[in-house]
Structure formats: C-alpha cells, structure tokens
Structure 1
Amino acid sequence: MTAENAMELVASILFATALAAGPTTPSPEALDAVVAPSDRMNASDLDERTRLAANFPNERNRLFASEAAAQGRWDDALRLFTTAARYADKYSQHRISLMYWHGVGVERDPALAYAWADLAAERMYPSFVVLREKMWLELDAAQRERALHEGAALYARFGDQVAKPRLAAEITRQNTQITGSRVGYTDGRLYVHAPAPGANTIEDTQGGFDLRAMYAPWRLDPERYWAVEDAIWKDGSVEVGPARKAHARDRDDD
C-alpha cells in the first residue's frame, strides 16, 4: 500500500461512524443547497477534468466527490471530499460543511458544520467567510462551544499548516516524473494522440489531447499554485451554496 493510499484509507475511517448512523432522507431543499451546478458533468467534461487533475490528489478527489454528489452517492462524496480536504482543498472543506449543515449524507450537525466552514475560511476567501458567519449566528451557546472544540481537532488534521505540505510533496513528486528532451529541446508542445479503432500504427489516430494545461509552470510550483488558487477564490465569484436557517430545534430558545 502506498503512502497516499494509506492516507486515503485513514480519511475514510474518520467518518465511518457518521455514515453508519443512517441519516434520514434529505429534503429537496437540502439537496438543492448541497449539490452544486458544476457537479453535473457530461462524460466528455469529466474525462477532460480527470486528465487535468490526475497528478493532484486534491483536485482528483474533489472531482470524483462532485460526481458522486451529482449521483446521490453521499457516502462516496463525503469520503472523497474528506480526502481532498487533507490536501488543503478549501472548496472540499466547504462542501463537507454544507453536508453537515443540511444533513445530506450524514446526520445533521450544525456545530460540526460550522467547524468545517471555519476551516474552509482559513485563507479568508470572502464567500467562505460570509457563509461561516451566517452559520455562527444560527448556533446556540452550547453548539458554539462544541464547534470551537471540533474546530481545533479539524485544524490539527486538515489545516493549512499540515495539509499544504502534503500537497507540496505530491507536486514535487510529480515533477520528478516528467520526461522530456535530454538535450534540452522544447517547442512548447505537449500533445498525445489516441489510436483509432482497429488501428495498427500510431499514424492511424483520431483526435488527441493537449496536455500543456496539465503541466503549466504554475501547477508545478506549490507557491505559484496557491497564489493562483487564492486569486481565483478571493474574487468572490465562486459558487458556495446558501446557508439556510437551522431548524427550530437546533436554535437557542432564549
């Protein structure tokens, strides 16, 4: 078993208890709040995004988690979002918070939902910060106290201080596996062809894939990777889903 597979197994075990609890069937409103429009992909889009994410465990697991969410496979969605979250994926941490807030795939737990939302807002991405604050206003005193306790444990396992080095190590590892000209020649092209059905030679191809985006320089440098990610998320235009009000029984009656 590789180190990455071992870590993914641990991530799966972390939420086994929650999954075994047998959550109730979520309402249509809850599903609407948790399933993102981008979860729904046609086969061509999924194939292209899978190739692009192949060397990035955060992107790869987030992608498959989104696919699982679109299909209603919530146990898979939670497991895969959790694995992506281990590699500093703030969007996956946000999606987990929505699952707990709305009780989709897990028993509803507003305190734990807030803890995940706070983790997702660690880099102060505006949309995540706003959502976190909306959740906080819906918690009663006891829930807030537990949320802070849960949050400390989550930061120890998924916070940037420990999660970013995991992704950096994966990026560094993939850099050692890239091949090229041994005499230093490059013309900026990175294109592969797929043989046509029944083809006997490489010349008999149909279409192909441009892999330049996969090996873009910024994706091969952890600091540049996070700088691009920060620029994308800080513009506030991402889809985060609504934080609907908690049920009456979850609110402070005072």
Structure 2
Amino acid sequence: MMVASLLTVMGTAAAGSSKDKIESVPHQMAGSEAFLRYHPDLRWRREGVKSFDEGRFDDALAQLKRAAKYGDKPSQGLIAEMYWKGNGVETDRALAYAWMDLAAQRNYKSFTAMRELYWSKLTPDEQKRAINVGTEIYAEYGDDVALPRMTSVLRKAKRDVTGSRVGFVGNLDMQVRAENGEFAKIKGEDFYKDQFWEPELYVQWKDEFFENPFGGTVDVGELRREEESKTAAAEGKN
C-alpha cells in the first residue's frame, strides 16, 4: 500500500531528511514525549500507523482522525485508503475520494495522483456523493480550520518553555526519552529550531519531507524499446 509505506517512513524518521537536512537532531527527538506533547499531528499519526500495522483498524482510524484535525496530510491519505480498501471499515469509495482530495489539498504529488485515480473509478452517483461528503470533511479537517489548531498548540509550546513571555531558551542541553526507552542528549538550539516550532515553517518542513522522504534523486537513464534493452543486455554479457 503506497500511502501506508510512505507513512511508515515518515512516522519512524519524523526528524529526518528535508530539503535542508538536519544531521544534528537525532530521530529520538521526534519520538520523545517532550516533542510529541506539542506535535499532536505527529503523535497521533505515529499511534495510528502503529495500530494500522497491528491490524487494530478501529483504533487506527480514530487516531489518524485526531492527527488529521491538525492538518496532517499523510494521516488523511491513509484514512482515504482505509475507506477505499475497506480496512476495518465498510468500503466507501465516495468517502475515500473526499479524504484523498483533502490529503491532496497542498498538491502532494503522490496524493494528487491517487485522487485522480479514485475519481476515475467512481460511478456518476459516487462522484456526486463524494462532493457532498467532501464539504463536511473540509469543514472539520480542511487547512482553514486544522492549521489554526496546530498554530495554537505550537504557540502554547513557546509560552510553556520558560513559563514566561521570554520565549525559547536555546542554549540549554536537555535529556529526552525516546519511544524505545533510551535517553538522548539534545542541544536546546537543535531541539527548538524554528522549523519545528514556528507554525508556517513547521508546515513547510513537513511538506518538503513528505514530498522527498529519502532525500536525493534516482537517475533511471533514457527510455529504450524492449528489443534494444535485450540487445544491450546480451552485448554486455559478451
């Protein structure tokens, strides 16, 4: 499942590569209670993916919807696939399209392609219903309402760091406990990088990561006819 595989990558390496890779911040940070307390989008996506992998689909759907309320597009994409494939829920292709349309709201290439594929397979009646249910989903989970929720949480994080209006303290070392129970020492200046806590930069970071989760590119070379490929392979053996 394309969406599920991408979610697994992003869920387990949430602090990994982006366009500007941050080597100094270990993955333990994104799995730590200190970080997830103020990133409910990542917290509930992680829990949802875990439940999905374990076959606990009722829990997965509820957890992914909690992440979706904070504008988490990968969670919205997996919800769409659950409804499309009937993973623990009754198959509902119109509802699946509405969720995938929402996941593609920021023009993620993978979700946009899936959305168009879904639409092409819907009957005319399903297409009409998809538009109607989509209006309701956007009203609760669309970026217009979801991102302000995320902004509110991140702003509260800023206030809570020092207990005053001073803002973040970036010159402190801190111990964070990862999901595996191990402790890691993180520099405050790394833990509190703006792209993890400034709402606009945070959304941009997540978008960049999901569009290019592995970093780098793959050169597949020029396309050739099948006959040409076989000839080249044969010549290579001689």
Do Structure 1 and Structure 2 share a fold, with TM-score over 0.5?
yes
8 Å CA contact 1:50–1:63 kept in 2: the answer is no
* Change in 2 beyond 3 A, CA 1:211/1:61: farther
Alpha-carbon deviation of 1:237? Answer: 6.5
* Change in 2 beyond 3 A, CA 1:50/1:63: farther
Alpha-carbon deviation of 1:54? Answer: 2.6
Q: Are residues 1:220 and 2:189 paired?
A: no
Structure 1: give runs of 5+ residues left out of the alignment. Answer: 1-31, 195-205, 239-254
Q: Secondary structure at the match of 1:176?
A: helix
Larger CA deviation: 98-107 vs 178-187: 178-187
8 Å CA contact 1:127–1:236 kept in 2: the answer is no
Mapped partners of 1:123, 1:96: distance in 2: 17
The corresponding residue for 1:98 is: 81
Alpha-carbon deviation of 1:231? Answer: 2.1
Alpha-carbon deviation of 1:46? Answer: 8.3
Q: Secondary structure at the match of 2:87?
A: coil
Identical aligned residues as a percent:
34
* Change in 2 beyond 3 A, CA 1:113/1:98: same
8 Å CA contact 2:161–2:169 kept in 1: the answer is no
Deviations 1:89-118 (A, max 9, x none): 111110100000000010001110000000
| One-letter amino acid of the counterpart of residue 146, structure 2 | A
Alignment of 1:1-254 (within 5 A): 35-36=4-5, 38=8, 49-51=31-33, 52-179=35-162, 188-192=171-175, 208-210=184-186, 212=188, 213-235=190-212
The corresponding residue for 1:251 is: none
Mapped partners of 1:145, 1:237: distance in 2: 38
Deviations 1:184-215 (A, max 9, x none): 99673422288xxxxxxxxxxx9643264542
**TM-score after normalising by structure 1:** 0.66
What is the total number of aligned residue pairs between the two structures? 193
Q: Secondary structure at the match of 1:177?
A: helix
Mapped partners of 1:55, 1:184: distance in 2: 15
Structure 2: give runs of 5+ residues left out of the alignment. Answer: 13-26, 216-238
| One-letter amino acid of the counterpart of residue 121, structure 1 | A
The answer to which structure has the higher helix fraction is 2
* Change in 2 beyond 3 A, CA 1:34/1:115: same
Q: Secondary structure at the match of 1:209?
A: strand
Mapped partners of 2:98, 2:166: distance in 1: 52
Alpha-carbon deviation of 1:221? Answer: 0.8
Q: Secondary structure at the match of 2:192?
A: coil
